[in-house]
Amino acid sequence: MNKDYKTMSVADIVTNDYRAADIFKKYQIDFCCGGKRSVQEACLKANGNFEKLIEELYALKKKEIKVQNFDEWELDQLSEYIVRIHHHYVNENLDLIGQYAEKVSKVHGVQHPEVIEIASLFAEIKNELTAHMRKEEVVLFPYITQLVGLKQKNLMAERPPFGPIQNPIKMMEMEHEHAGELMHRIRELSQHYTAPVDACNTYRVLFAKLEEFENDLHLHVHLENNILFPRAIELELHHTAQTAFA
């Protein structure tokens, strides 16, 4: 299908082809929390070369490879994938990166005080994401799975304790935004994860892991904000009794 990238949103482009995420990352364009912007608007905000970016997107389109179309997945399958891939990644790396950050801040904090702030910011991210993912796994995702099951049986959902699904989704999106802001600050403090010349191996590994963590977080949040959440809201509207939220 031909697509006019000039008029599409950043999020829609990444939803259609995940490979575009690497291009937007190169131009420092946020495709998760800021994904609702048009490509032109996002490029202007990032002071990027709009025409060159568009050329790269069309060049990517010509490379015929099979890509995952997450927008076609059932929502229970997608939420399970997010837990299995992205929540697992976060859980596996929070402690490890936190330990690296603490070690580097103690050893190099005098010469490079920015690493002290980086360690503090990542500790905040760790606490927030741990609580955030638990709320998704215990409350929000099970309800989405329930909605999928009711849809398959052509049944209506009863009102959950938290009210309409927009309530927890709004909270999750706000928490995504804050985590993204914290990672953006870390990126700035680290000069885009560029280790100084006197950095030890742990220092360099820390910055490499932080960049990897941010990349995964962008994909993670994109799947939720731009695919899972909007479709879950729509699903609830179609499979909830008319008086459920009166």
63-104: pLDDT as tens digits? 655 557 888 899 999 999 999 999 999 999 999 999 999 999
Q: Both 25 and 85 in a single domain?
A: no
Given this model, what pLDDT does residue 66 score?
52
Query: Is residue 188 situated within a structural domain?
Result: yes
Residues 182 and 87 grouped into a single domain: yes
Q: What is the pLDDT of residue 246?
A: 40
Q: What is the pLDDT of residues 200-227, one digit of tens each?
A: 888 998 999 999 999 999 999 999 999 9
* 216: in domain: yes
Residues 164, 44 share a domain: no
Res 244: pLDDT = 44
Counted residue by residue, the chain has a size of 246
pLDDT at 2 over 50: no
* Residue that is last in its domain, among 23, 45, 62: 62
Asked, for residue 245, whether it belongs to a domain, the answer is no
pLDDT per residue over 133-184, tens digit each?
A: 999 999 999 999 999 988 887 777 677 888 899 999 999 999 999 999 999 9
In this structure, the answer to whether residues 129 and 180 fall within a common structural domain is yes
Domain boundary among 62, 84, 100: 62
Decide if 37 is inside a domain. yes
For range 187-210, the mean pLDDT:
93
**Based on the domain organization, do 48 and 169 belong to the same domain?**
no
What is the count of structural domains for the chain?
2
* Residue position matching structure tokens 């996002």: 42
Q: Tell me, yes or no, whether 157 and 213 share the same domain.
A: yes
Domain that holds residue 27: 10-62
Confidence of residue 242 (pLDDT cuts 50, 70, 90): very low
Q: Both 25 and 130 in a single domain?
A: no
Please, what is the average pLDDT of the chain? 88
* Residue 34 sits in the same domain as residue 80: no
d(CA 16, CA 19): 9
* Alpha carbons 42 and 36: distance in angstroms, whole number: 9
Q: Is residue 50 a contact partner of residue 38, using CB atoms and an 8 Å limit?
A: no
pLDDT of amino acid 153: 78
What is the pLDDT at residue 63? 66
Alpha carbon separation from 203 to 41, 49, 198, 208 (Å, rounded): 36, 33, 9, 9
Tokens found for residue 47: 């002071």
| Three-state SS letters, the chain | CCCCCCCCEHHHHHHHCCCHHHHHHHCCCCCCCCCCCEHHHHHHHCCCCHHHHHHHHHHHHHCCCCCCCHHHCCHHHHHHHHHHHHHHHHHHHHHHHHHHHHHHHHHHCCCCCHHHHHHHHHHHHHHHHHHHHHHHHHHHHHHHHHHHHHHHCCCCECCCCCCCCHHHHHHHHHHHHHHHHHHHHHHHHCCCCCCCCCCCHHHHHHHHHHHHHHHHHHHHHHHHHHHHHHHHHHHHHHCECCCCCC
Give the range among 20-24, 102-106, 181-185 with minimum mean pLDDT.
Answer: 20-24
199: which 2 tokens? Answer: 């950095």
Q: Given this model, what pLDDT does residue 123 score? A: 98
Q: For residue 243, tell me if it sits in a domain.
A: no
Same domain, 187 and 146: yes
> Tell me, what's the pLDDT at 1?
35
CA–CA separation, 14 and 227 (whole Å): 11
Residues 145 and 204 in one domain: yes
In a domain, 217, yes or no: yes
Whether residue 96 is found in the same domain as residue 184: yes
Give yes or no: residues 25 and 116 share one domain: no
Domain assignment present for residue 48? The answer is yes
Please report whether residue 47 resides in a domain.
yes
